[in-house]
């Protein structure tokens, strides 16, 4: 066989092999040798709060049940600019779906809208953004929770015959929707008892370490404090620590929190050990987010615009049962 024909035949065989290799790498989605993988970006506001750590854990556990899901987490560390950057990177990397728990509403609204406008489904967890450019919001009714806490305080103050009944409030991050709603709802709830007065209020940004010195300062400045309202359980615990630091007796003071995590160091255990008196279940929505993400990605399901998760009031009378109900160990 002439040399030129041998070279030509070799080139044909090489081209055939390359095409075969290429077709192997481009297996159609759902075929026996390779299923479609979906990339999800999870933008967390911060990992410093135990409740957010629980949210991430629930998302990861739910995603692990779906081998077709590949999820990446980021931590904005309560920095709005960092969270915008995190979401921008998810957009540019071409994620199939975005889950975000915004640090604050207004600073994150535009970048969430950008993802949504590019056709990326967006599931917003817990804290909201402004407008309606997102696919689904999942969270509890923070105003309702705040109102329930306020109503409990109004009744307790009346029963204890405190008139006036002095309240100090440790609020969440200014500009975050739960902080605004838990504060507004609480004020609606205490309105039933005009003797209840909020005498001091500070933003501790949901963080235990920041709440301790703020609670110390408020307790030192106010000799008579009947109620401590923490917008989450860690801030309620911080007030207890602050009282110990300044040798302040809180045995006759009502302490309320929100979250009620069913963990050894969570709010339900705080109630069981008579530290926090009352807390409210605040579900993370992590499991529901993955359930809906799978429906959206795999079946093109159209979700409702919002899913409101239920809460429960936790007192010493029902704390053990609720701890068991939510899988506490």
Q: What's the CATH number where 59 sits?
A: 3.40.50.2300
Does residue 125 sit within a domain?
A: yes
Q: Which of 271, 230, 232, 275 lies closest to 251, judged by CA?
A: 275
The label of the residue with tokens 């005009």 reads 194
Q: Is 175 left (phi over 0), alpha (psi -120 to 50) or beta?
A: left
Q: Nearest CA to 219 among 183, 256, 253, 187?
A: 253
127 near 282, Cβ under 8 Å? Answer: no
- Residues in the chain with pLDDT < 70? 1-34, 329
State which residues form the domain around 250. 142-282+317-324
Same domain, 291 and 240: no
Residues 162 and 221 in one domain: yes
Number of domains making up the chain: 2
Q: How many Cα atoms occupy the beta-carbon half-sphere of 44 within 13 Å?
A: 24
First-to-last C-alpha distance (Å) of the chain: 79
Coil vs helix vs strand at 317 = coil
Q: Are 14 and 230 in contact (CB under 8 A)?
A: no
Closest to 103 (Cα-Cα) out of 128, 131, 78, 140: 78
pTM listed for this prediction: 0.84
Do residue 110 and residue 188 come from a single domain?
no
Asked whether residue 262 is assigned to any structural domain, the reply reads yes
């Amino acid at each position: 066989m002439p040399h030129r024909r041998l070279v030509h035949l070799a080139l044909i065989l090489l081209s055939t092999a390359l095409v075969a290799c290429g077709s192997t790498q481009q297996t159609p989605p759902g075929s026996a040798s390779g299923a479609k993988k979906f990339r999800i970006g999870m933008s967390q506001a911060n990992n410093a709060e135990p409740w957010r750590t629980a949210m991430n854990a629930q998302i990861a556990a739910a995603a692990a049940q779906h081998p077709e899901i590949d999820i990446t987490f980021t931590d904005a560390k309560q920095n709005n600019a960092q969270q915008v950057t995190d979401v921008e990177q998810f957009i540019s990397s071409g994620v199939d779906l975005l889950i975000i728990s915004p640090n604050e509403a207004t600073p994150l609204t535009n970048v969430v809208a950008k993802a949504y406008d590019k056709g990326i489904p967006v599931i917003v967890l817990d804290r909201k953004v402004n407008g309606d450019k997102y696919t689904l919001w999942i969270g509890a009714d923070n105003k309702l929770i705040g109102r329930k806490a306020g109503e409990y305080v109004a009744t307790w103050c009346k029963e204890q015959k405190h008139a006036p009944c002095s309240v100090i409030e440790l609020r969440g991050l200014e500009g975050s929707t739960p902080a605004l709603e838990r504060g507004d709802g609480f004020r609606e709830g205490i309105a039933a008892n005009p003797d209840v007065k909020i005498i001091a209020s500070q933003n501790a940004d949901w963080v235990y370490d920041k709440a301790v010195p703020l609670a110390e300062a408020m307790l030192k400045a106010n000799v008579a404090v009947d109620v401590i309202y923490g917008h989450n359980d860690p801030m309620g615990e911080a007030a207890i620590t602050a009282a110990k630091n300044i040798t302040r007796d809180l045995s006759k003071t009502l302490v309320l929190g929100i979250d009620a995590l069913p963990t050894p160091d969570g709010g339900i255990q705080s109630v069981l050990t008579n530290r926090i008196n009352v807390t409210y279940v605040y579900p993370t929505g992590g499991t529901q987010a993955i359930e809906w993400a799978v429906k959206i990605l795999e079946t093109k399901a159209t979700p409702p615009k919002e899913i409101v998760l239920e809460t429960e009031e936790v007192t010493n009378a029902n704390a053990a049962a609720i701890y068991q109900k939510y899988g506490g160990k």
